Amino acid sequence: MDLDDRSRVNWRGGDSSVWPDDRGWRRRVVIALMLVGLLGSLALHFVIGWADALGALTFTATATCC
């Protein structure tokens, strides 16, 4: 997008305190969904990683034993 071409830019006014939309509920729903996804991903990574790390330590202990 060419910002120098004034026919392509539509400035509606406002400053840094103005959000692009008047629908604050939609922004909050999106934030909530992203947070749920982030926490779900964190939980899966923790559970899978913890089991994998414990298994790797056990495997290392048995491989170097005898």
Phi and psi at residue 44, to the nearest 5°: -65, -45
> Is the model's pTM score more than 0.85?
no
pLDDT 10s digits, 4-62 = 776 777 777 777 676 666 677 888 899 999 999 999 999 998 888 887 777 666 655 66
Does 66 score more than 70 pLDDT?
no
Torsion (CA) 29, 31, 37, 39 in degrees, nearest 10: -120
Torsion angle of alpha carbons 9, 14, 18, 21, nearest 10°? -40
